[in-house]
Amino acid sequence: MLLDDKRIRIIVGHYGSGKTEFSVNYAVKLRQLKNKVALVDLDVVNLYFRSREKAEELEKLGIRVIASSLRGSGVDIPAVSAEVYAPIQDESYDAVLDVGGDPAGARTLGMYSQYFTEGDYDMFFVLNANRPETQTVEKAIEYLKRIEDTARVKVTGIVNNTHMLKSTTCEDVLKGQVLAEKLSEKLSIPIKYVVALENVAKDLPPNLNGEVFPIKLFMREEWMV
């Protein structure tokens, strides 16, 4: 349950793991349960396919979207808005922090690390077993640890987001689940969610370790695979 997660949810992972798609879907679902929801786009590494591109759509749904103080999706400047502090400090907010990929992207998070005391936040590590850099448990651990070190924040949950875009099958998700379980066991971090496209999620076997989290694709255009 999204409501069982801590007020501040931080989403990290290897770039291309699907953090933004998960973050946007999470914020949309959360808004159906809570009134004050903010989606904070902290990605200053990659300038394409960031959650801020969907700001207008999300704001219509009543989600506050915070990114750079410089408007425009094409601004090639690593600037973060001071507004980011608002949902972090204001406890009436439920916040989703969409962090940039890799340890490089997690660096931005470091400046807020003093606000994330143990038990007050969740940090979800998004894992995609179809990405070459996180296909083995050793490589996944290395990414996770380096992200934790750079961000100075500890991961509290694993999100299995193993997919092949629009051609994702149950096998993809279950292959990722095997990896997620190994990672979970090695690091004693629970699997929180098992993400899949809605039409795949309905065919997943019951009793998976972690809650099934069906998503829609917000970031892929109609003509993309």
Q: For binding to another protein (CB under 8 A), which residues are involved?
A: 15-16, 46-49, 73-74, 76, 128, 130-132, 135, 163-165, 167, 221-225
Quote the least distance from Cβ 24 to another protein, whole Å: 15
By beta-carbon proximity to another protein, the closer residue of 3 and 223 is 223
Question: For residue 155, what are the CA distances in angstroms to 46, 84, 107?
Answer: 22, 20, 14
Quote the least distance from Cβ 22 to another protein, whole Å: 14
Quote the least distance from Cβ 27 to another protein, whole Å: 21
* 3-class SS of residue 128: coil
Strands (E), the chain: 8-13, 37-41, 63-66, 94-98, 121-127, 157-160, 191-197, 211-215
Of the candidates 154, 143, 219, 123, which has an alpha carbon nearest to the alpha carbon of residue 183? 143
Quote the least distance from Cβ 135 to another protein, whole Å: 8
By beta-carbon proximity to another protein, the closer residue of 118 and 222 is 222
By beta-carbon proximity to another protein, the closer residue of 74 and 206 is 74
Bridge partner list, 125: 12, 158
By beta-carbon proximity to another protein, the closer residue of 75 and 86 is 75
By beta-carbon proximity to another protein, the closer residue of 4 and 76 is 76
Quote the least distance from Cβ 43 to another protein, whole Å: 12
Contacts of residue 128, defined as CB under 8 A and 6 or more positions apart, other chains included, come to 13, 14, 16, 17, 18, 134, 161, 162, 163, 176
